[in-house]
Structure 1
């Protein structure tokens, strides 16, 4: 559970207490993409290009909202909660769908789920929701997981098992980084 709007201090942002900001609209779009992306992944044998496009757009919106928050100086409390929530829900749902159709190793899903549940419980118990600061391991994990997932899905779309294999390697590296980042976020959550 990381957030991307940490480079602009709340006092510097007149948008901090606002709900409607450009980055938050992008996060809402990301939420809206979750169900169609999951359904497309589950139907990858019939429409592999659709699965690839929807997951790629979902992944891209993660970068876009953080970039816009910094560029427009629109860090907001709602964004601090909504952005990591959209990331976690979408990433886990897409990963589970990829696991169901045999594209993701199941151990990766177990690592992601266990880490997210433990960090989520610690965050809620300590009232740290939205207070976690992104770590280097968290950034690397997110980038590798998203790029790896897109490559895993690009394999069927491009009829290239080699591309899928490269994506699987990246996803497995991301799972290891996810565990490391999870330890860092767990410590942050306990500190409140």
Structure 2
């Protein structure tokens, strides 16, 4: 599970001292969440079983919250967990956006903006690695953006059709999408500021480890 940290710039160490454990409760929860990505895509693009797809997203959102709690309660911070947690978040967002674009649920420019943000930050992380910096620390702003988007997606699915439930979910889903998208782009801008600050510093002495992913 990726741990929100107080750092404001890419770092070479971890304040939570994650270890090399693989089999932990948070890691198992993240693995379950990752396993749901292909199932979620198949439900959306195959049988168009939107109700079951919403259930998968709800389970993913719950395990995303639970693995963070478990890491704190059980003191089970691990380097693998810091990779798995944000990777699962990214995959769900990318998979959902791709499926929504194919089905015409969201316009192409929304998908382009959100995916473009991740592509730009991926390039920044690659540059930081060459300078022996760890990737951007997880921030509450980034986690809040992901939280809003993961709530928006099931609401947008439930908004399909002309039922009474769809009429209720539609404005709420659009509101979560707008707010989550804005936070997602703003967190990307914050990461770019951190990237600029890191690039102005002298190249650090190699330390042999990269500890954190973006949030």
Q: State the TM-score bracket (shorter-chain normalisation).
A: 0.7 to 0.9
Query: Which moves more between the two structures, 87-96 or 152-161?
Result: 152-161
**RMSD, aligned α-carbons:** 2.6
- Greater RCO between the two (CA within 8 Å, min separation 6)? 2
> Paired residues, what number?
186
Give the 3 Å change call, closer, same or farther, for CA 20–125 of structure 1 in structure 2.
Answer: farther
What 5-or-longer segments of structure 1 have no aligned partner? none
Contact 1:140 1:177 in 2 (8 A): yes
Contact 1:27 1:86 in 2 (8 A): yes
Is 1:137 the counterpart of 2:141? The answer is: yes
User: Is the radius of gyration larger for structure 1 or structure 2?
Assistant: 2
Query: Which moves more between the two structures, 27-36 or 50-59?
Result: 50-59
Matches within 5 A, 1:80-95: 80-95=82-97
Query: 1:50 Cα shift?
Result: 0.9
Deviations 1:74-104 (A, max 9, x none): 1111111121111111211112112221222
Give the 3 Å change call, closer, same or farther, for CA 129–85 of structure 1 in structure 2.
Answer: farther
1:20 equivalent in structure 2: 23
User: Distance in 2 between the 1:106 and 1:51 partners?
Assistant: 21
Query: 1:189 Cα shift?
Result: 4.8
Is 1:167 the counterpart of 2:173? The answer is: yes
Q: Please, which of 170, 191, 201 is the counterpart of residue 185 of structure 1?
A: 191
TM-score scaled by length of structure 1: 0.84
Query: 1:173 Cα shift?
Result: 1.9
Is 1:98 the counterpart of 2:100? The answer is: yes
User: Distance in 1 between the 2:37 and 2:63 partners?
Assistant: 12
Contact 1:19 1:76 in 2 (8 A): yes
What 5-or-longer segments of structure 2 have no aligned partner? 6-13, 200-215
Query: Which moves more between the two structures, 119-128 or 79-88?
Result: 119-128
| 3-state secondary structure, aligned to 1:19 | coil
Give the 3 Å change call, closer, same or farther, for CA 116–146 of structure 1 in structure 2.
Answer: same
Contact 1:151 1:166 in 2 (8 A): yes
Contact 1:49 1:157 in 2 (8 A): no
Give the 3 Å change call, closer, same or farther, for CA 129–109 of structure 1 in structure 2.
Answer: farther
Greater percentage in helix: 1
2:4 equivalent in structure 1: 6
Contact 2:4 2:140 in 1 (8 A): no
